[in-house]
Amino acid sequence: MRSHIREVQREVQSLKDSREIDDFEIAHNGKHPTVTFLVKGVWYSTPFPSTPRTPYANNFVRQQIRRRIRALNIS
């Protein structure tokens, strides 16, 4: 496992610890690794790059998950 993917895993784990998401899995869909996360009993996924382009790539994954949750209008 690459260190970047471990960093992403830590970011997503922090979302789980703060109870923004219920559970998550990190998998590979053929082109990109994906984070599959559980919110209110429904699984959603978002891809992320396998190599970081900037030092803020881990934060970007966290923002993508939060945007996806907001788009669902779940409170």
Asked whether the predicted pLDDT for residue 1 surpasses 50, the reply is: no
Report the pLDDT averaged over residues 24-38. 88
Write down the pTM of the prediction.
0.79
Give the other-Cβ count within 10 Å of 51's Cβ.
Answer: 8
| pLDDT value of position 58 | 80
**Integer Cα distance of 39 and 24 in angstroms:** 9
